[in-house]
Structure 1
Amino acid sequence: MPLTDDEATLFASWFHALSDPTRIRILNLLSTTGDELGVGTIVDTLALRQSTASHHLKVLHDVGFLRRRRHGTSVLYRVNANCLERFPSAADLVMGRLRVDAAPTAPGWVAEPA
């Protein structure tokens, strides 16, 4: 069975979000620390400008890779584990390595709201 339009659109947004090296670095940092980080910490750790980091964090949040919460005047970011756990399956589906009927079904692709 081929992918549905909705699945293809979702997967395209994920792959597009990962098409920038800075976003890969941010996702890697958040994945490997396993903790919530503020923009300032991300900026300092990766030697980015604040506006650059904020832009890339927004892109990653908008596609569901990141979760965010307000803490006082700061916004803290963490990895959305539900989304990242499903990403390898998305890649396998696109490449034809996994049958669509054997994959997790929508809306379960991003079970935790972004």
Structure 2
Amino acid sequence: MNNTIDEQLNKQRINIFKALSDPVRIEIIKYLKNVNDEVICGEVGRFVGISKPSGTYHFKLLEEAGLINVRKSAREKYISLNYNVLDKYVTHFFSNL
């Protein structure tokens, strides 16, 4: 495999596992898995028990890692799990090394 591609894949893996290294972000992922649909950020924040600024921080890290999809509509942001990234980098982590 090309070194540049391999470096990009490693960077993606590192970003994903850094994003998953926080208990709050794990709770966000669990919540999104259970609702299995797109939800408003505020709803997730209330369920997890975090402030809006804290939620913004955690959602940004999850989005940058590619673990969630974010859609803005008017004043609301809707998020959902990005199952493709979860499957590729988390579920099949070992087989993709």
TM-score, normalization by structure 1? 0.74
* Count of residue pairs brought into register by the alignment: 93
Give the Cα–Cα distance (whole angstroms) in 1 for the partners of residues 65 and 14 of structure 2. Answer: 10
* 1:47 aligned to which of 41, 49, 52: 49
1:81 correspondence with 2:83: yes
Counterparts of 1:20-99 in structure 2, within 5 Å, are 20-86=22-88, 87-90=90-93, 92=94, 98=95
TM-score, normalization by structure 2? 0.85
Give the Cα–Cα distance (whole angstroms) in 1 for the partners of residues 7 and 43 of structure 2. Answer: 38
Give the Cα–Cα distance (whole angstroms) in 2 for the partners of residues 44 and 50 of structure 1. Answer: 9
**Offset at residue 5 of structure 1 (A):** 2.0
Q: Which secondary structure does the structure 1 equivalent of 2:78 belong to?
A: strand
Structure 1 stretches of 4+ with a deviation exceeding 6 A read none
User: Whose helix fraction is larger, Structure 1's or Structure 2's?
Assistant: 2
Give the Cα–Cα distance (whole angstroms) in 1 for the partners of residues 44 and 16 of structure 2. Answer: 21
List alignment gaps of at least 5 residues for structure 2: none
**Offset at residue 7 of structure 1 (A):** 1.9
Give the Cα–Cα distance (whole angstroms) in 2 for the partners of residues 72 and 7 of structure 1. Answer: 34
List alignment gaps of at least 5 residues for structure 1: 93-97, 101-114
Give the Cα–Cα distance (whole angstroms) in 2 for the partners of residues 47 and 82 of structure 1. Answer: 27
Structure of higher CA gyration radius: 1
Superposed CA offset, 1:25-58 (max 9, x none):
1111111110111121012111111111111001
Report percent identity of matched pairs. Answer: 24
